[in-house]
Structure 1
């Protein structure tokens, strides 16, 4: 027996996924696999050319006659090789000059063996044969990859650390249904596509292979031959759990073993809270530029260092959550993370996945929630990424009118393909469940909802009803929100949705999209427009302050002053303010007081809290030296005090999303640019009064109606001397008088400081 059938075979038509194969056993998952004859020379040639779509029909142990087995292996690095069965050592025969080996053994059943390889430098290495193991996937897993909302994607696909037949290694699985061949390549096999070709599950398009002996930390990619037979650029694993630090692009073996957690109490109590009634004040952070180590080449802080510095700072400042700009691995620093390639891998710029988990754990120990900017709407064109992953438009729409984002030069996911929607929904669950994150802010939702988003007539395809709504994206968003709220109680999802789409934060069973909250982009645009005007002109723009209250309770809103407002030539928040230096800071303080007193949860991008005066630059640290200046330090102290007041005063947060928690007191004093309202909690007597004066003119004896009797403590005065103000105020508070005003049964006569917001909390 030669091991290779040298006879001339009749040429047969190539099967899908198989090139040059003869006498091939059925693919994994078939119920009728039969014993194989000796392998044909054409099949060997295809294996050695890395052009065979069914390697298990050739490699590994094969019964070629009753009780007679051939074990075949590709060992291009071997000078010689032997089959090890117990104490028996059976030499392999080289049957192809590039390293195709065959050993013959008699066995009543499938032989259990190892391979000993003598390399050309005289070293001998023992290893288990990947092709000696059966399939490790199950038909149910394959089917679940089409169930939007399941977490099977990250439990099954990617590189999973597991043990088969008491042998440890990694099981690789990747979705590439149109590929003719897929191989694992990495630094463990010299990036040689002949060494580890994978098995195809035809009914699901999943390629799978268990590689014994691998350990965490190794680098790998997939070598894919497209449906036309051409080799594609090496592809990173779409479900890689770790990745190389850019500009390197390989995936890294990590596995999904649970990190070490000490946040059990946080996780237990998280689900008991109703976020709508809880204080939420979010500090939005770009981890790469919050602070850097200038004396070490301006390097990033690590996850560990961020845990030691950022978390205590956020705690001291009174924010309830950190929201990270995207940290899913991305190639280009200038994208700030909004063009990710590896959605399941925390960026290696700051450390390992375990380091990232420790950062989240430290935040929870400090009582701080952690949120992620999540990007399911589009992905970049990088050759190692998802684009044309198996030689076809697999993750993206083929038609550029649906699949290409003109503004950002990126691909758009095909939300109507169940495997793609399942991939993305599982990714949402992954961050909330595996990494214990507390929320996802979903980027660019408007671009997902509208088929004609940023497109002219003729550049988009209407839906089946002729409309511009992306029905597939709507279904995907609803299913994802249902899955996250079902499986990760206490977490929140937040939509960055810039239009008036109805019901974004309404439950799906009422026809909504199912988000927990929505960014109030209208409020942000209107109020920034107002405060950027010279004070003498503000009377003509008073409606910018009041208009938002017409719709303030139509959604569960978050008031965002995000990174988008301090880039691309927009300048910093401080730079938007008119007037001399004193007035700029006073305006900013008054605006922050107005924001924290306004209905809606809060979000502030880093640097705004101390009045950074230059536009944000992702390549530089924030200007922390500015805190040596009293004005900047005063803004920081005000934001800290606003946060602590907001979190401890139910009237300011418990009914952020309810009309019953708000009452106008003064809405029409545009001549003086004075505005005032009452905030109410869920319990009787919980009242706060917010008064803003957006002119530099102080107002003495200004009477305002209030809904309850009692003493109104001046809890915040943005004009206080400790914040950098003129220290005009009300000597700690005022007693309500039984003098009706503004439709209220009681009133207070106030001294209203210039360019300031004062917040009064009712006591007694």
Structure 2
């Protein structure tokens, strides 16, 4: 059925009226195809007695539209164009469904059909646009991106993307043969947001955005910044994704929100999922497989939390995840987003928290991702003195732009709220805080006051931490910040950055520097062990021995230790004990706990076979004993951030390289004595606060740990007589390169 016009001149006028929009569509320059495509009153009918239906079908040879009664109206092609149209009388218009179905044939005799996207009104509301423009739409991930939904009873996917410098944006994918002119989107006023609802699409369909810059005419194909799933590298298309997962961790989340985490044991096992374990053929495990293996191991070892190196989608394995291209998408290397949900859920159901490394400081320049997203410097600064990291070859986010801040803060909230992550370790905070970070004079721009502080980044971090703590009580925000910036872990209302904790890089550097020295020289560097107590309570500190210390020719932890193999293992046990017994929460990178000899290699599994070697097994068992001791003894974690939780017994015995201190809680006190030389110290006297019996809770030189079994027979009796400002004393045998932990048993 083909309606006809009464006169040819009218048809000529109609075609003339369509000439300019057709040219713009053909050139990919139409910023609002909805004003032309779909059904509109005919420009030749002043009283709306005729309607024009138009569809842009670049791959079609013929097309038709279906009426309510099942009949078809054949569409006519405008000569020398990809526009198909028909003129409807008012009577026929009444029989056309509000959301009508278009069928087309591409020349192979096979007909395709779909409800027209151009029959739908905008999906995104004014409030969403307003909040996003102000940078305060904390659930913008539910608006932008690709979301399966039903509009007026029609199932499909709503696509939306922010690209204010674009002249045209289209959705491309398998469903339209990746043809950039097939599904052009509408722009929503001056918001810079483009959207379209495409019926018939569903979860797991592949897509990207094709974007034409309005000034240069450059056309780029980009992944969706808000994509919640992506293809496995080296492919990089986005996937429409709708979670079907049903969480089972409500009890964990409720307990987390009420926990007094300051006084709780937090002992973190830092993990790179791609190299912790692999299958027998060297392939990646699925998130679900890893969950069962990793949780069983972490529980046996006595860690409280897992911290994942970044699992946001990234193209390069060698970047370890720190060159992020899919901020909202768990990497497909290990399975689907719901597989990742299972991983987190399984950890929670088994009492293990999950932290995530998060990278808001910079992003890579890959052409398919965020860099110059709409042809302009959208997420980054235009000026490379502000917008590029010279060391890493990456772009720096423009923290002063509302929509960019919104993108990042909403992303943090997405991982914490939607994916149930328990906290974020924010990478490279120092690079965000200083405008002259790793730059020479003339390579950076000062702030409005002439200073080097990045005021916009400071505001971003404060807003980030405020919103996270307000919206997700109980989660933790940790800063990797390597300078002396004040109040990193103090509340924003005090002028702090608002983090929960800060990595203590000074403690880590000083301690490793000391431990790498031959014991004969340690006496001259005693202050490297004691200095950290000068600032230990200025922040809420995590004591890290992280992945950064076992790569790039720095050697493994046991490889850093001096001496023969026995001394190396003894020194490593001593290092682990010094970390665990000092104030502060703890972090250790995978493989270090069983004394991996080689540097970490992200391309292969950890060498688990070492756990069958007596030396390595001894270190692993000692790590396990330390972890369980830390959890069980309140003195080792209850007052981590309070100066009265720590008391020196003797910090001055540099000549013998011996340190001793007490750790206190409300219920108990423990005495920790360290001998940093391979010399057995007989009758070494230390002061203790009361008389009675003291028991060895831990001796790192026990033979079960690979030590020489030098000790004190398990129990000691305090003698009257003041020593080291204490009322009583003990005469001890200190094991070589060893540590003792003593507990007062009874008077």
TM-score by length of 2: 0.95
Does residue 1:55 correspond to 2:33, yes or no?
Answer: yes
Contact 1:596 1:646 in 2 (8 A): yes
How far residue 490 of structure 1 moved from its aligned partner, in angstroms, is 1.0
CA distance in structure 1 between the partners assigned to 2:227 and 2:693 by the alignment: 59
* 1:310-709 to 2 correspondences below 5 Å: 310-681=294-665, 683=666, 685-709=667-691
Does residue 1:713 correspond to 2:695, yes or no?
Answer: yes
Matched residue, 1:30: none
Contact 1:37 1:63 in 2 (8 A): no
Contact 2:149 2:157 in 1 (8 A): yes
CA distance in structure 2 between the partners assigned to 1:39 and 1:410 by the alignment: 48
Matched residue, 1:41: 19
Q: Which residue of the other structure, out of 122, 130, 136, is the alignment partner of 2:123?
A: 136
Structure 1 vs Structure 2 CA RMSD:
1.8
Contact 1:539 1:673 in 2 (8 A): yes
Q: Which residue of the other structure, out of 249, 259, 263, is the alignment partner of 2:245?
A: 259
- Please list the CA deviations of residues 573-603 of structure 1 after superposition, one character each: whole Å capped at 9, or x if unmatched: 0000001111000000011111100001000
- Please list the CA deviations of residues 672-692 of structure 1 after superposition, one character each: whole Å capped at 9, or x if unmatched: 1110110011x2x41111111
Does residue 1:70 correspond to 2:52, yes or no?
Answer: yes
How far residue 104 of structure 1 moved from its aligned partner, in angstroms, is 2.7
- Please list the CA deviations of residues 719-754 of structure 1 after superposition, one character each: whole Å capped at 9, or x if unmatched: 111000011112223243443221122332222111
Contact 1:558 1:602 in 2 (8 A): yes
Q: Which residue of the other structure, out of 237, 245, 254, is the alignment partner of 1:268?
A: 254
Task: Go from structure 1 to structure 2 and tell me whether the alpha carbon gap of 1:149 and 1:445 turns closer, same or farther (over 3 Å shift).
Answer: farther
How far residue 712 of structure 1 moved from its aligned partner, in angstroms, is 3.0
Q: Which residue of the other structure, out of 731, 736, 740, is the alignment partner of 1:754?
A: 736
SS of the aligned residue for 1:299 comes to coil
Task: Go from structure 1 to structure 2 and tell me whether the alpha carbon gap of 1:315 and 1:446 turns closer, same or farther (over 3 Å shift).
Answer: same
How far residue 124 of structure 1 moved from its aligned partner, in angstroms, is 2.7
How far residue 97 of structure 1 moved from its aligned partner, in angstroms, is 4.3
How far residue 149 of structure 1 moved from its aligned partner, in angstroms, is 5.5
Task: Go from structure 1 to structure 2 and tell me whether the alpha carbon gap of 1:40 and 1:229 turns closer, same or farther (over 3 Å shift).
Answer: farther
Task: Go from structure 1 to structure 2 and tell me whether the alpha carbon gap of 1:740 and 1:229 turns closer, same or farther (over 3 Å shift).
Answer: same
Contact 2:244 2:338 in 1 (8 A): no
CA distance in structure 2 between the partners assigned to 1:735 and 1:416 by the alignment: 64
Task: Go from structure 1 to structure 2 and tell me whether the alpha carbon gap of 1:161 and 1:4 turns closer, same or farther (over 3 Å shift).
Answer: farther
Moved more, 602-611 or 70-79: 70-79
CA distance in structure 2 between the partners assigned to 1:380 and 1:276 by the alignment: 36
CA distance in structure 1 between the partners assigned to 2:49 and 2:314 by the alignment: 53
How far residue 365 of structure 1 moved from its aligned partner, in angstroms, is 1.2
Matched residue, 2:87: 104
How far residue 572 of structure 1 moved from its aligned partner, in angstroms, is 0.2
How far residue 70 of structure 1 moved from its aligned partner, in angstroms, is 1.7
Task: Go from structure 1 to structure 2 and tell me whether the alpha carbon gap of 1:557 and 1:146 turns closer, same or farther (over 3 Å shift).
Answer: farther
SS of the aligned residue for 2:78 comes to strand
Contact 1:82 1:117 in 2 (8 A): yes
* 1:176-195 to 2 correspondences below 5 Å: 176-195=163-182
CA distance in structure 2 between the partners assigned to 1:341 and 1:208 by the alignment: 22
Task: Go from structure 1 to structure 2 and tell me whether the alpha carbon gap of 1:543 and 1:647 turns closer, same or farther (over 3 Å shift).
Answer: same
CA distance in structure 1 between the partners assigned to 2:654 and 2:96 by the alignment: 88
Contact 1:692 1:756 in 2 (8 A): yes
Task: Go from structure 1 to structure 2 and tell me whether the alpha carbon gap of 1:4 and 1:103 turns closer, same or farther (over 3 Å shift).
Answer: farther
CA distance in structure 2 between the partners assigned to 1:55 and 1:150 by the alignment: 27
Moved more, 322-331 or 748-757: 748-757
> Could you list the runs of 5+ residues in structure 2 that have no partner in the other structure?
none
CA distance in structure 1 between the partners assigned to 2:129 and 2:9 by the alignment: 34
How far residue 207 of structure 1 moved from its aligned partner, in angstroms, is 0.4
Q: How many residues of Structure 1 are paired with residues of Structure 2 in the alignment? A: 732
SS of the aligned residue for 2:512 comes to helix
How far residue 61 of structure 1 moved from its aligned partner, in angstroms, is 1.2
Matched residue, 2:218: 231
How far residue 339 of structure 1 moved from its aligned partner, in angstroms, is 0.7
- Please list the CA deviations of residues 498-544 of structure 1 after superposition, one character each: whole Å capped at 9, or x if unmatched: 00000000000000000000000000000000000000000001001
CA distance in structure 2 between the partners assigned to 1:561 and 1:163 by the alignment: 50
CA distance in structure 2 between the partners assigned to 1:385 and 1:3 by the alignment: 50
CA distance in structure 2 between the partners assigned to 1:149 and 1:548 by the alignment: 40
CA distance in structure 2 between the partners assigned to 1:316 and 1:551 by the alignment: 34
CA distance in structure 1 between the partners assigned to 2:319 and 2:8 by the alignment: 55
CA distance in structure 2 between the partners assigned to 1:146 and 1:477 by the alignment: 19
Moved more, 262-271 or 71-80: 71-80
Moved more, 468-477 or 110-119: 110-119
Contact 2:674 2:738 in 1 (8 A): yes
- Please list the CA deviations of residues 394-427 of structure 1 after superposition, one character each: whole Å capped at 9, or x if unmatched: 1001111000101000000000001101110000
Contact 1:5 1:38 in 2 (8 A): no
Contact 1:270 1:490 in 2 (8 A): yes
Task: Go from structure 1 to structure 2 and tell me whether the alpha carbon gap of 1:202 and 1:524 turns closer, same or farther (over 3 Å shift).
Answer: same
How far residue 175 of structure 1 moved from its aligned partner, in angstroms, is 0.5
SS of the aligned residue for 2:522 comes to helix
- Please list the CA deviations of residues 655-714 of structure 1 after superposition, one character each: whole Å capped at 9, or x if unmatched: 111101000001000111110110011x2x411111110000111222212234554331
CA distance in structure 2 between the partners assigned to 1:258 and 1:463 by the alignment: 47
- Please list the CA deviations of residues 54-86 of structure 1 after superposition, one character each: whole Å capped at 9, or x if unmatched: 111111111223142222112233332221121
CA distance in structure 1 between the partners assigned to 2:484 and 2:76 by the alignment: 71
SS of the aligned residue for 1:81 comes to strand
Does residue 1:290 correspond to 2:291, yes or no?
Answer: no
Task: Go from structure 1 to structure 2 and tell me whether the alpha carbon gap of 1:599 and 1:588 turns closer, same or farther (over 3 Å shift).
Answer: same
How far residue 6 of structure 1 moved from its aligned partner, in angstroms, is 7.8
CA distance in structure 2 between the partners assigned to 1:468 and 1:3 by the alignment: 72
CA distance in structure 1 between the partners assigned to 2:121 and 2:718 by the alignment: 80
SS of the aligned residue for 2:652 comes to strand
* 1:111-260 to 2 correspondences below 5 Å: 111-112=97-98, 113-148=100-135, 150-255=137-242, 257=243, 259-260=245-246
CA distance in structure 1 between the partners assigned to 2:247 and 2:717 by the alignment: 50
Contact 2:147 2:159 in 1 (8 A): yes
Contact 1:5 1:41 in 2 (8 A): no
How far residue 201 of structure 1 moved from its aligned partner, in angstroms, is 1.2
